[in-house]
Amino acid sequence: MTASSRQISPQPTSPESADPSSDQLIPNQVPPLTGYNLFLSDRTLTHAVEREGANWAREQIAELGRLLGKEEAQRWGFEANENKPVLHTHDRFGNRRDEVVFHPSWHNLMRTSVANRLHCLPWEARRPGAHVARATLMMLTAQNEAGHTCPISMTFSAVASLREEPELFAEWERRILSSVYDPRFAAAQEKSGVLLGMGMTEKQGGSDVRANTTRAERIGSSREYLITGHKWFVSAPMCDAFLVLAQEPQGLSCFFLPRWTPTGKRNAFHIQRLKDKMGNRSNASSEVEFERAWAHVVGEEGRGIQTIIEMVNHTRLDCAIAGAGLMRQALVQAVHHARHREAFGKLLIDQPLMRNVLADLAIESEAATLLMVRLAHAFDHREANERERAFCRIATAIAKYWLCKRTPVHVSEALECLGGNGYVEESIMPRLYREAPLYSIWEGSGNVICLDVLRALTKDPATVEALLAEFKSAAGADERLDGYVQRIAGRLATAASDKYAARDLTEKLALALQACLMVRYSTPAMAEAFISSRLAGQHGQAFGTLPDDMDVKEILNSVVEPLA
């Protein structure tokens, strides 16, 4: 695009045009990015949906992409964050109330996501490509407003653990899989749709949940218990039920703790306060105390970590999806700005150094999307295919670690592309920036995840085979990639003993996986730039340091053309 084809061209400043009350547009300001389709403008995603057998959901995905690009849905995101949730611990008579009240725009976001079955699609659709379809819907949604995806993700993920307790699951299944968003604070029996959350972290320990002190006492010989203790972080406390960990005589166990007891009374789930946290402002994260709260054990007593880990693995997938989503939105905002803003006589997108920055951000976003789609594919096939199961085990940790580490730096660089306007709350950028670091602390922080990579490699040798098979899929395509893969493959056998180097290994595995995917599914220009810069050392420490013989025009066209 040339300067002359811009929608708003610079005008000489006259007293009349400087007057904001006149009808003249202010020169050289960028039009809002609205009225576009988040899905159809993303070639990587549209190709992935087709390739991965999720085309049956294409119409729905395109419709959500259209809705999320509209000014109305964008406004919901802003309003839900400008109007923080409010906790009411007690009513005016001093009775406990324990309710959090949200802005109507939060409910619009939730209603849209539930209606699109982001909280349950793979459990209900049970057809190939369902995880990829849902991952795509989630990635689009996270671009508009990520805060509300927390309860959506936890509901989706909790099902994976709750199935360990078939009778209990059968009781709740219909309401969990419902596409009706029912935000009323009422007993589940009275509701047409419910949401689920999770409580693991306590004051004295989050990563090391074995240190949990919350206790569970069995009621007679049933599978029902009374829980006493606390949780230090409970996000989305208005969910209808939570999977929590508590100690019982056989050890740490997983429990299903609803906000209302089966007899229709409020459960002893007391919200102490909301966290004044960094990150989104739309969602509530709380501190909770349980005073002999009714709960039902899930899975085998004493094996709570093994039971809840299925939920955790699915939320880790969602962290990777959200990371890819935030990077994509940051990239799109930066490219849009650069296409419309002029400095030093040229559009920013025509300034050589800006082109380097944008192309570098584009390949990072592309590699993130491909890795998250590959992971979702593994979730789709892991029950029927042993190798995909092993790949899923290891790649969940690798992708979660790496995409969550890349998101904050990527978003921060994109923010700068917008100049001062990017730092103003009326733009979406500050929201993306605040959100970006959250995903690395959730569901296993950086170190914990890298140690999990080592654990998987040692305890499940099939994970090594799965990685090697994945690398083989791109063998011979690029000598630099072949050499890189060979060097890491050599480290896999001895990796487990080297905790000190766990981050280094995980990062390199992630880059190798991404490079293989870029070679297979991206454009030659993108794959070349990724391998030269990320694998072959032709890159600095910051974005915008691609070597000079890259096909930047081709890289940028793949982002700009579908947006135009």
Ligand X SMILES: Cc1cc2nc3c(=O)[nH]c(=O)nc-3n(C[C@H](O)[C@H](O)[C@H](O)COP(=O)(O)OP(=O)(O)OC[C@H]3O[C@@H](n4cnc5c(N)ncnc54)[C@H](O)[C@@H]3O)c2cc1C
User: From CA 128, how far away is CA 518, in angstroms rounded?
Assistant: 23
Residue 230's H or E segment, with its range, is strand 224-235
Of 285 and 333, nearer to ligand X (C-beta) is: 285
Phi, psi of 94 (to 5 degrees): 95, 0
Of 317 and 357, nearer to ligand X (C-beta) is: 317
Q: Is 477:522 a contact under the CB 8 Å cutoff?
A: no
CB 87 to ligand X: min, Å: 15
CB count in 10 Å sphere of residue 561: 10
Q: Is 171:162 a contact under the CB 8 Å cutoff?
A: no
CB 370 to ligand X: min, Å: 27
Phi, psi of 445 (to 5 degrees): -75, 175
Of 442 and 530, nearer to ligand X (C-beta) is: 442
Q: How does DSSP classify residue 499?
A: G
CB 261 to ligand X: min, Å: 22
Of 366 and 452, nearer to ligand X (C-beta) is: 452
Between the CA of residue 282 and those of 104, 166, 173, 500, what are the distances in Å? 11, 34, 27, 38
Cβ-proximal residue to ligand X, closest one: 206
Tokens coding 324: 């890819």
Of 230 and 296, nearer to ligand X (C-beta) is: 230
CB 80 to ligand X: min, Å: 16
Of 114 and 308, nearer to ligand X (C-beta) is: 308
CB 202 to ligand X: min, Å: 8
CB 265 to ligand X: min, Å: 24
554, amino acid identity: E
CB 460 to ligand X: min, Å: 20
Of 118 and 559, nearer to ligand X (C-beta) is: 118
Of 114 and 312, nearer to ligand X (C-beta) is: 312
Q: Is 366:559 a contact under the CB 8 Å cutoff?
A: no
User: From CA 228, how far away is CA 257, in angstroms rounded?
Assistant: 12
Binding-site ranges for ligand X (CB under 6 A): 197-201, 205-208, 233-235, 277, 279, 285, 438, 441-442, 445-448, 451
Of 128 and 205, nearer to ligand X (C-beta) is: 205
Instruction: Give SS3 for 349.
Output: helix
Nearest partner of 63 among 37, 45, 44, judged by Cα: 37
Of 285 and 506, nearer to ligand X (C-beta) is: 285
Collect all residues with Cβ–Cβ distance below 8 Å to 369 and sequence separation of at least 6. 42, 44, 45, 48, 139, 324, 327, 328
Burial of residue 15, with CB atoms counted within 10 A of its CB: 0-12 exposed, 13-18 middle, 19 or more buried: exposed
User: From CA 64, how far away is CA 473, in angstroms rounded?
Assistant: 33
CB 258 to ligand X: min, Å: 16
CB 302 to ligand X: min, Å: 20
Of 197 and 258, nearer to ligand X (C-beta) is: 197
CB 342 to ligand X: min, Å: 39
Radius of gyration of the CA atoms of the chain, in A: 24
CB 546 to ligand X: min, Å: 31
User: From CA 435, how far away is CA 322, in angstroms rounded?
Assistant: 10
Q: What is the 3-state secondary structure (H, E, C) of 135-190?
A: HHHHHHHHHHCCCCHHHHHHHHHHHHHHCCCHHHHHHHHHHHCCCCCCCCCCCHHH
